[in-house]
Amino acid sequence: MNTINGKDLAAVVRGEVKVKAQRFLDEFDRKPALHVVLVGEDPASQIYVRNKKRACKRARVDSVQHLLPESTTQEELLELIARLNGDEQVDGILVQLPLPEQIDENIIIEAIDPRKDADGFHPINLGRLVAGQAGLVPCTPLGCMRMIAETGVSLVGKNAVVVGRSTIVGKPVAHLLLAEHATVTICHSRTRDLAGVISEADVLIAAVGRPEMIKGKWVKKGAVVIDVGINRLDDGTLVGDVEFEEAAQRAAWISPVPGGVGPMTIAYLLENTLTAAFARANQTG
Ligand code: NDP
């Protein structure tokens, strides 16, 4: 068994972003800029936003934070987004989710200029992904695909099983796997015989959010296992959706939690910011 070290690989991706950020600075005479909007004081969101800021700094991407009070109205948030959409110096916009209940997430996501949609959650970008067109793709799925690429295992004709059908992980990663010519199965809470489906998976992506619910003995021998789940146990330990020790006995490659997909997600947020920056800069000038 080999571990796919997301922490080290994320550092490689950040290095790649740094090179691109320098090229952007040379060509367009300014640093690429990611604007992160945080509404309220959710502690987990505050940590994510802080980590994003640190990653930007390391990759020489400008990061600007907009910290708004919990009582912010939808109109106020829409006004900020409209201002960021119209600002030529803004390359990526990310609104940290979840939002307070008075704000409709879908309305906010759709208000972001799809060309600046660093998270890749805008329906136009999701539609482009399904249609196989170039666009901004959600960061966690991109991170998963890079991890698989690093194993050197080809996806062509392989059985890929995705457990979870969310719009931010399960569905987009399934489309990326399909684009790489895997035969893709998406499982969810109503799937019958999850163990049986998983036992056929050459590549398994777990994105459920239930601690170690995927048993090691279900994993096919020689499989590539990417564990997206981040679950905090009562004693404070972080675990994934897959029983790591047991699955590691059977898998050829497996990603750990923590130190797996998590750091890759942030690295690909930066990569998306650069993709957005170059696409817009080349379009406008
Ligand atoms: P969601 O809660 O949006 O989706 C979870 C999915 O799991 C749903 O499709 C649900 O099915 C399915 N599911 C729930 N129970 C079962 C079950 N018993 N058997 C099979 N499928 C089941 O979660 P997200 O996609 O947002 O996140 C998934 C996990 O990944 C979480 O732990 C989250 O913290 C983590 N995450 C990690 C990131 C990272 O950077 N590493 C980034 C994003 C998420 P149904 O649709 O039928 O309800």
Q: Specify the CATH number for the domain of residue 179.
A: 3.40.50.720
| Catalytic residue positions, numbered | 52, 96, 119
Q: Is omega for the bond preceding 98 within 30 degrees of 0, making it cis?
A: yes
Q: Identify whether the C-beta of residue 129 lies closer than 8 Å to the C-beta of residue 150.
A: no
pLDDT recorded at residue 1: 82
What is the Cα–Cα distance from 82 to 104, expressed in whole angstroms? Answer: 16
Per-residue model confidence (pLDDT) at position 285: 59
Asked if the structure places residue 17 within a domain, the reply is: no
Determine, yes or no, domain membership for 121. no
Distance 207 CA to ligand 1 centre (A): 5
- Give the position, in ligand 1's atom list, of the atom nearest the Cα of 208: 7
List the alpha helices (DSSP H) in the chain: 6-28, 43-58, 74-86, 105-111, 123-131, 139-151, 170-179, 194-198, 244-248, 261-284
Mutate to test the pocket of ligand 1, among 171, 185, 193, 208 (most ligand atoms within 8 A of CB): 208
- Residues 106 and 154 placed together within one structural domain of the fold: no
Ligand 1 pocket test: pick from 13, 144, 187, 189 the residue with the most ligand atoms within 8 Å of its Cβ: 189
Instruction: Provide the residue type at 135 as one letter.
Output: G
Lowest-pLDDT choice from 24-28, 47-51, 121-125, 268-272: 47-51
pLDDT digits (tens, 9 = 90+) for 174-188: 999 999 999 999 999
Residue 181, C-beta contacts closer than 8 angstroms, at least 6 positions apart: 155, 156, 157
Q: Are the CB atoms for 175 and 114 separated by under 8 Å?
A: no
Tell me the pTM.
0.97
178 and 225 inside one domain:
yes
CA dist., res. 2 & res. 151, Å (int): 9
**pLDDT tens for each residue of 20-56:** 999 999 999 999 999 999 999 999 899 999 999 999 9
284 pLDDT higher than 80: no
Domain containing residue 87: CATH number = 3.40.50.10860
- Counting from 1 in the atom list of ligand 1, the atom nearest the Cα of 240 is 32
Main-chain phi, psi angles of 139, to 5 degrees? -70, -40
How much is the mean pLDDT over the chain?
97
Judgement on whether residues 151 and 247 belong to the same structural domain of the protein: yes
* 81 has pLDDT over 80: yes
User: Is 53 part of any domain?
Assistant: yes
Number of domains in the chain: 2
Pocket-forming residues, ligand 1, beta carbon under 6 Å = 140, 163-166, 168-170, 187-191, 194, 207-210, 228-231, 261-262, 265
Tell me how crowded residue 123 is: count the other CB atoms within 10 A of its CB.
Answer: 13
Which residues, at least 6 apart from 236, have a Cβ–Cβ distance to it below 8 Å?
none
Residue 91 domain-assigned? yes
Look at residue 3 and tell me whether its pLDDT is greater than 80.
yes
For 213-245, the DSSP string reads -B-GGGSPTT-EEEE---EE-TTS-EE-SB-HH
| Residue that has been written with the tokens 């279900």 in this structure | 218
Instruction: Please enumerate in sequence order all residues whose Cβ is within 8 A of that of 28, keeping only pairs 6 or more positions apart, or say none.
Output: 281, 285
* Domain-embedded: residue 118: no
What count of Cα atoms within 13 Å lies in the side-chain half-sphere of residue 135? 22
Q: Whose CA is nearest to atom 22 of ligand 1?
A: 189
Is residue 204 one of the residues assigned to a domain? yes
Same domain, 256 and 162: yes
**How many alpha carbons fall within 13 Å on the CB side of residue 137?**
27
Query: What is the span of the domain harbouring residue 105?
Result: 30-113
CB 91 within 8 A of CB 34: yes
Same domain membership, residue 144 and residue 104: no
Q: Could you give the angle at which helices 43-58 and 6-28 cross, rounded to 10 degrees?
A: 60
